[in-house]
Structure 1
Amino acid sequence: MAQEIAADANSADAAQEFQDEGAIIVTARRREERLVDVPIAVTAYSGEQLLQRGATDVTDIAQTTPNTTLEASRGTNSTLTAFIRGVGQQDPVSGFEQGVGIYLDDVYLNRPQAAVLDIYEVERIEVLRGPQGTLYGRNTIGGAVKYVTRQLPQEFSLKARAAYGSYNQIDGIVTASAPLNDIVRVGGSVARLTRDGFGENLTTGLDNYDKDIWAGRASVELGGYGEPVLIRLTGDYTKDKSNPRGGHRLVVGQLSNAPVLSDVYDTRGGLIDPAQEVEAYGLSMNVSADLGAGLTLRSISAWRQDDSASPIDFDALPAVDVDVPAFYRNEQLSQEVQLLYDDGGALQGLIGFYYLDAKADTQFDVRLFTTLAGLTGFTEANVDTETYAVFGDFTFDLTEQFSLSVGGRYTWDERTGSILRQNYLGGGSPVFGGAGVPFGSPLTNFNGKEDYRKFTPRASLSFQPTIDHNLYASYSKGFKGGGFDPRGVGVNAPDLDGNSLLSDAEISDFLSFDPETVESYEIGYKGNLLNGDLYVALAAFRMDYTDVQIPGSVACVANGIPTFCGVVSNAGKARFQGVEVEANARLARDLLTGGDRMNLALSGGYIDAKYKEYITNIAGLGPTDVADFRQVQNTPEFTGSATLSYSTDLGDGELAVSGTGSYRSKTYQFEIPNPFFDQDGYALFDANIVYTAPGDRFSIGLHGKNLLDKRYKTSGYTFVAADPITGDLALNNGQVIPTLGKEGTLTAFYGNPRQVFVSATVNF
């Protein structure tokens, strides 16, 4: 956890006072506070701490954050899958909104593409658990991850950082800034991040799991550092030209008898068109003005766009069998205004307005040439969102020990969907350069609109018997709007037998799904003990989750043609309850300077996540509750970590040594348990040695990640027959039975193997 985190140069003096006391500073409630004072479960990491640990991207922090999963989505390099306390979203196609909000410098990222943010020039990262929405930005039902970049310094600065390591990892980052006069500063960073693959595509010869990224940020700042107004203009750009990430088959090919490869990072998928590429860029303007009398006005304006081309070979074999070339195109425009009040008295708070206009377009083929020569199912799904919200949150100190916080948000969501599904015969669809011609009428040709409105409240009561102890209880409600299933078949649905056409209203009803809500209850304790040598945070929570949105796709037959169908439903009800603990103990200190010498950081999470009702439509049975046979995905029952760090003087410089062990218990990749995919519990071990020269002129480090070289699954694809109730796999002579394509799709993706690298940073 971060030891010293300051968020706003306008409050630099107050932040320094807190730092001198050795407190942990966060801005989870839109104002600088000691972490012990915040009645919210939050984990914070400083940029310096992340560098010391050799963190490369935002997914690294999940190892040491309770009840949190952050990982690259299946078949991608930079699309993020995020779950907090059992709430998230694994499907990245348009139509499905994320359950965990990702913020880059207070700008909400509406889509998960390009959201695996690389860590460079970061000020801090905060992870807030539980529903958010009364304090800023978009309403998020599960939690939020806030990535905050560094503010430009007042003096000229030039810094270079480089790393070299396993798999020919070569990283370089150059950062420079300069003041143009007393109030204007300019600066930026350029990053080149590369690595050879962990494995190889044995069909194409390309590296698998490689990295090839150019990235950059630029800023212009006016004011701040004592001025009443701070204007920050920023732009960022990322281009990812890494190779397609191919999966590892878990079963023998049912048609080709292709064996299971010995190296889990090797693949044999033959699809290479379109060329893998992700390009993301954005502009933002953040304005903060001190109006006096305790009032501060903030405005956050942003525009972002990303475009992805992804060739995904589902069955990971050379034949054109469940090959899926895909395009993702996203654009968003957002505006947020906040008025904050804090005059040092008993009342603090804010009111705000948020607007988002976002377009999410997805196009993909599903090529099934071995099923029917040249058969392709093409989908184009444009699902756009326009949302408005007003929110407020106020804290009133009832006495010196008791404080009450209340907040609320009213959200208007408008979802517009345009979905086309068309079969082609004779090759791929023209969108992907294929020679196929339309085969039959469209399975879906839908245009529709839905509106969703919801008020979501929050309240908390804190009791601080002394300044270093805080007992709190809170209640909050989260909301995520509904949408349209981009894979839905909306012509001869729901029985897909071709016997009856549905009306436009019935098609809209069949393709749409309802909003979901969470009611969250939490009690907790935070305390600074032993004269500040021990920080402890405990939280117990319960979340009642209703109308849970469960997306997916299955093999089906529509108009007599084998294809795939969306099976999105509001499954019913779930209950998540558990406990979390975080502790930071100073085991030894320098008697002369009082600085840390040995430190132990601990984190632990337990969650009992269960579906209480899970309604699914089963052929011959109709709507059936299968809750007893379903699991909550990406949510291990136990998570935990321990980091032991030690620093000592070495000449006039400092040597810091740290090691981290983390553990995650059994994880289900899908709601339906699958013995091939379900990942048993595992532990990871990292270690770091960093020398820092006097005056922070330069540093050099040695970093090791996953030192025991553990192989663990993070995601996958499945299209094989299973019992519709229990999920037990159907077998024929011990072999799986394909439901889409001829080979059988049971394809897994894995976390990174052991990596060792050296890093060097020079401050000029």
Structure 2
Amino acid sequence: MKQPSFALKCLPHAIVAIGLSAGISAPQVFAQETIALEEVTVTAQRREQSLQDVPIAVTAFSADALEQAGTATIVDLQRSAPNTTLQVSRGTNSTLTAYVRGIGQADPLWGFEPGVGLYVDDVYLARPQAGVLDVYDVERVEVLRGPQGTLYGKNTIGGAVKYVTKRLTGEPEFTAKAAVGSYGQREIELSGQMPLIENELAIGAAISRKKRDGFGTFLQSGEENYNKDIFSARISMEYTPSEDLFIRLAADMSDDDSNAKGGHRLTPSLRIPTEVTPNDVFDTNADMDTNNEVKSSGGSLTVEYDISNQLTFKSITAYREGETYTNIDFDNTSLPSLHVPAVYDDHQASQEFQLKFEGEGVNGIAGVYYYTGNASGAFDVLLGAFDGFFGPALPGNFNALTAGNVDTDSYSVFADATFDISDKLSLNLGGRYTRDEKEATVFKQTQGVNGRSDRLGGEVLDFFPAATDYTNSDSWSEFTLRAGANYQLTDDSMVYASFAQGFKAGGFDMRGDASKLPSTVDGYDPETVDTWEVGVKSELLNKRLRLNAALFYSDYEDVQVTVQQSADGGSNFVSAVLNAGAATIQGGELEAVAQLSKDLTAEFTLGYIDAEFDEVISGGVNVANTWEFANTPDVTSSLRFVYNHDLGDNGSLVASTSLAYRGETQIFPQVASLVDEDAYTLWDASVIWYAPDEHWTVGLHGKNLSDKEYRVGGYNFANLGLESSVIGYYGDPRTVTLSVQYKM
């Protein structure tokens, strides 16, 4: 076993140092007034608990905290969730790239599955498209770190993000919020609820319309680049005919009509050496069609029935579907070549039955889960004019079409229980058996086309023998275990130790070229992780200092990594999904909240991770020493101060300022490149005024106030279209938003 790194060894000492310094200075600050931190409630273990009682590394964001920080989407949460990456995927507007503790999935292609589970009201979202959820009408968001393979199961090998929408109170409510800001930002949110039958039946709804002009321009066409045009809505109905029965019917939709996103070249074009790369990274020379639309919708039915004081039955039935039409320009020049129009289509249905039990000295949950879904798609790689070199001269484009679909069925049974051995000691034991079955169809062919391939609305003029054309199926099963213990040192301090396993099923490479890599038809294997974790959760100084910390060590096996490169000068991609041997991940996390005075709160987070590949076999040679973990900075940290002041008859004021640091980040594991991002720090600040009648709220929010330029993704092709093409995509520049809200 590898020895912990220097930073990992130092983390416990840092915890002690913070505690000691708080103990020395805090009494002088707190002696004059009685103050305490508010309790935080989470459902990380599928039941409501205080954050301090959950033996899991979890960061929770309440609705008030999200509002006060001006949180726009869930990607903002990576600023203050340690060892977490939540980014907008390369070349997209609303597709999510999620990594927790080094584990995730950067490739959003159909058929590939995430390594971090995204849940909306306990419903698993299988596809990352439309995963960059706007934050509105929300109760809280939780980020669970480490494998959640027992309670959450499918594809939570790295962790889980839980988005919990606002529950209905049964009282009439209406809220209207409008916002304007930088780059022509204009937004409106409406939400409300009303009882239909007093104390029994209520209905609620929320809509959000968000528009913003582009941060830059497509210089060839004048179209906006990095703009925003999203409409989303939710509706729910809750029925409580008795104290024992609760039924909730909910539906939601989102429609993203933002332009397709153009990238910024980091290498000059050899084919157009006179074309100047724009100075502004949000401007682009890309000449592609900017049409783009991402639709997502779904519904769920939740039923909870209290069988007795000790037993509760819960059923969650859900269906979701999505469609994506988009374009990517891989060379980002004015040449009409290397355009990649793409379509995705997916749908999923799931059913979960739970039986929760609570007795003297024992709490737990058992259940069964079934998921079925289909993900399909097609994309062209349009090289340019079909000049007859490979056949008769024809009008149109030389194209490589990739298309296919994958059907997935997943079954699992699970149980997890906590046993109170004494007033201070509790043991946790859980297990989950999962079986995944997949059938995939993959097609790849070089064509001459009129505009595009027929799969994307064009016409095929000529074609060559298919490079890939197969249907295959496979299945995988795994038993994952969780075991742990927690000990209550005092009423306000708990230590815990745990062992948890995670599992992500194998699959088939939708880009695979069987003519060059025949083994692609056999697919790739599952990946697994075993994680050991120790932690402490404490509230000190009469609940005025909350100090939570964790150390973890993970054995990561058969890591799934997508490797792709250009063949034949550009149009034909050779792709392979490797089970890249073994890796070791170790690190630590620290989260501290201190109520410095009645009005002032300080929040600090620190994440450190040391992730290394131990074995990557390529061509019979172990090349692990040349690989680095993608989207995994070694250090993430944040510091935030919140000032909450009562203005008496003039209402109240909440002001905050924060710094968020992310260490150097490599984008692709197999190679360092220009697209990798150096360490950077983002500065945000907000001020919110609450009217004394509690009806009006006015907020001013500044993001990235130092206007830091930073990359969040990109493409790195050493030989694409006979030249090196390295493309970067960037996080938002400085923005300022003014919002006004009325609530009745």
Q: Do they fold alike, i.e. is TM over 0.5?
A: yes
* Aligned mates of 1:426, 1:328 — CA distance in 2: 20
| Alpha-carbon contact 1:154-1:185 (below 8 Å) kept | yes
| Alpha-carbon contact 1:410-1:456 (below 8 Å) kept | yes
Offset of residue 561 of structure 1: 9.3
Q: Quick one: which of 599, 622, 627 aligns to 2:624?
A: 627
Deviations 1:202-257 (A, max 9, x none): 01211100000111101111018x82211110110111110111101111111111
- Judging changes above 3 Å, is the alpha-carbon distance between structure 1 residues 139 and 347 closer, same or farther for their aligned structure 2 residues? farther
Which shows bigger deviation, 465-474 or 102-111? 465-474
* Aligned mates of 1:452, 1:124 — CA distance in 2: 34
Which amino acid is 2:648 matched to?
G
Offset of residue 296 of structure 1: 0.7
Which amino acid is 2:551 matched to?
A
Matches within 5 A, 1:318-329: 318-329=334-345
Indicate yes or no: 2:421 matched with 1:408.
no
Q: Quick one: which of 148, 167, 170 aligns to 1:154?
A: 170
| Alpha-carbon contact 1:598-1:645 (below 8 Å) kept | yes
* Aligned mates of 1:574, 1:246 — CA distance in 2: 34
SS of 1:265's partner is coil
Offset of residue 286 of structure 1: 1.2
| Alpha-carbon contact 2:713-2:729 (below 8 Å) kept | yes
State the match for 2:724 in structure 1. 744
State the match for 1:61 in structure 2. 77
Offset of residue 26 of structure 1: 1.1
State the match for 1:572 in structure 2. 581
* Aligned mates of 1:129, 1:316 — CA distance in 2: 37
| Alpha-carbon contact 1:493-1:507 (below 8 Å) kept | no
Q: Quick one: which of 93, 107, 125 aligns to 2:123?
A: 107
* Aligned mates of 1:235, 1:755 — CA distance in 2: 32
| Alpha-carbon contact 2:111-2:509 (below 8 Å) kept | yes
SS of 2:136's partner is coil
Q: Quick one: which of 585, 594, 598 aligns to 1:585?
A: 594
| Alpha-carbon contact 1:106-1:137 (below 8 Å) kept | no
Which amino acid is 2:531 matched to?
S
Q: Quick one: which of 12, 32, 36 aligns to 2:52?
A: 36
State the match for 2:25 in structure 1. none
State the match for 1:726 in structure 2. none
Q: Quick one: which of 426, 440, 447 aligns to 2:471?
A: 447
* Aligned mates of 1:507, 1:742 — CA distance in 2: 26
Q: Which runs of 5+ in 2 are unaligned?
A: 1-34, 389-396
- Judging changes above 3 Å, is the alpha-carbon distance between structure 1 residues 561 and 130 closer, same or farther for their aligned structure 2 residues? closer
| Alpha-carbon contact 1:582-1:602 (below 8 Å) kept | yes
Indicate yes or no: 2:314 matched with 1:303.
no
Offset of residue 372 of structure 1: 6.0
Q: Quick one: which of 518, 521, 527 aligns to 1:508?
A: 521
* Aligned mates of 2:386, 2:676 — CA distance in 1: 29
Which amino acid is 1:284 matched to?
S
SS of 1:568's partner is strand
State the match for 1:4 in structure 2. none
Q: Quick one: which of 189, 214, 218 aligns to 1:173?
A: 189
Deviations 1:470-493 (A, max 9, x none): 110000110000000111111x33
Deviations 1:322-348 (A, max 9, x none): 2100001110000011000013x2011
- Judging changes above 3 Å, is the alpha-carbon distance between structure 1 residues 21 and 718 closer, same or farther for their aligned structure 2 residues? closer
Offset of residue 674 of structure 1: 3.0
| Alpha-carbon contact 1:59-1:70 (below 8 Å) kept | yes
Identity over aligned pairs, percent? 44
SS of 1:666's partner is coil
SS of 1:483's partner is coil
State the match for 1:363 in structure 2. 378
Q: Quick one: which of 346, 350, 374 aligns to 1:334?
A: 350
| Alpha-carbon contact 2:80-2:637 (below 8 Å) kept | yes
- Judging changes above 3 Å, is the alpha-carbon distance between structure 1 residues 546 and 449 closer, same or farther for their aligned structure 2 residues? same
* Aligned mates of 1:320, 1:132 — CA distance in 2: 46
- Judging changes above 3 Å, is the alpha-carbon distance between structure 1 residues 166 and 262 closer, same or farther for their aligned structure 2 residues? same
Which amino acid is 2:696 matched to?
F
| Alpha-carbon contact 2:520-2:576 (below 8 Å) kept | no
State the match for 1:260 in structure 2. 277
* Aligned mates of 2:406, 2:221 — CA distance in 1: 34
Q: Quick one: which of 476, 490, 496 aligns to 1:466?
A: 490
- Judging changes above 3 Å, is the alpha-carbon distance between structure 1 residues 33 and 561 closer, same or farther for their aligned structure 2 residues? closer
SS of 1:292's partner is coil
SS of 2:77's partner is helix
Which amino acid is 2:690 matched to?
T
State the match for 1:543 in structure 2. 554
- Judging changes above 3 Å, is the alpha-carbon distance between structure 1 residues 170 and 562 closer, same or farther for their aligned structure 2 residues? closer
Indicate yes or no: 2:544 matched with 1:533.
yes
| Alpha-carbon contact 1:586-1:600 (below 8 Å) kept | yes
SS of 1:465's partner is strand
Deviations 1:570-591 (A, max 9, x none): 11111110010001100001xx
Which amino acid is 2:177 matched to?
R
Indicate yes or no: 2:84 matched with 1:85.
no
* Aligned mates of 1:469, 1:245 — CA distance in 2: 49
* Aligned mates of 1:371, 1:385 — CA distance in 2: 38
Which shows bigger deviation, 355-364 or 667-676? 667-676
State the match for 1:693 in structure 2. 691
Which shows bigger deviation, 480-489 or 671-680? 671-680
State the match for 2:499 in structure 1. 475
* Aligned mates of 2:701, 2:406 — CA distance in 1: 43
* Aligned mates of 1:372, 1:667 — CA distance in 2: 42
Runs of 4+ in 1 over 4 A off after TM superposition: 370-373
Offset of residue 719 of structure 1: 1.2
* Aligned mates of 1:371, 1:746 — CA distance in 2: 25
| Alpha-carbon contact 2:87-2:712 (below 8 Å) kept | yes
Which amino acid is 1:749 matched to?
Y
Deviations 1:528-573 (A, max 9, x none): 100000000010001110100001321124xx99511112111111
The alignment's C-alpha RMSD in Å is 1.6
| Alpha-carbon contact 2:70-2:701 (below 8 Å) kept | yes
* Aligned mates of 1:372, 1:170 — CA distance in 2: 47
Offset of residue 164 of structure 1: 0.5
| Alpha-carbon contact 2:570-2:722 (below 8 Å) kept | no
| Alpha-carbon contact 1:339-1:351 (below 8 Å) kept | yes
Offset of residue 139 of structure 1: 4.4
* Aligned mates of 1:62, 1:467 — CA distance in 2: 31
SS of 2:738's partner is strand
Q: Quick one: which of 602, 608, 628 aligns to 2:604?
A: 602
* Aligned mates of 1:627, 1:259 — CA distance in 2: 38
Which amino acid is 2:220 matched to?
T
State the match for 2:246 in structure 1. 230
* Aligned mates of 2:141, 2:113 — CA distance in 1: 22
* Aligned mates of 1:314, 1:695 — CA distance in 2: 54
* Aligned mates of 2:330, 2:386 — CA distance in 1: 15
Offset of residue 426 of structure 1: 4.3
- Judging changes above 3 Å, is the alpha-carbon distance between structure 1 residues 105 and 372 closer, same or farther for their aligned structure 2 residues? farther
Indicate yes or no: 2:530 matched with 1:519.
yes
Offset of residue 695 of structure 1: 4.0
- Judging changes above 3 Å, is the alpha-carbon distance between structure 1 residues 692 and 133 closer, same or farther for their aligned structure 2 residues? same
| Alpha-carbon contact 1:137-1:354 (below 8 Å) kept | no
How many residues are aligned here?
698
Instruction: Provide the TM-score with structure 2 as the length reference.
Output: 0.92
SS of 2:616's partner is strand
| Alpha-carbon contact 1:370-1:742 (below 8 Å) kept | no
* Aligned mates of 1:259, 1:371 — CA distance in 2: 27
Q: Quick one: which of 690, 706, 709 aligns to 1:708?
A: 706
| Alpha-carbon contact 2:149-2:481 (below 8 Å) kept | no
* Aligned mates of 1:233, 1:614 — CA distance in 2: 48
* Aligned mates of 1:763, 1:684 — CA distance in 2: 32
* Aligned mates of 1:561, 1:61 — CA distance in 2: 38
Which shows bigger deviation, 130-139 or 236-245? 130-139
Offset of residue 114 of structure 1: 0.6
State the match for 1:202 in structure 2. 219
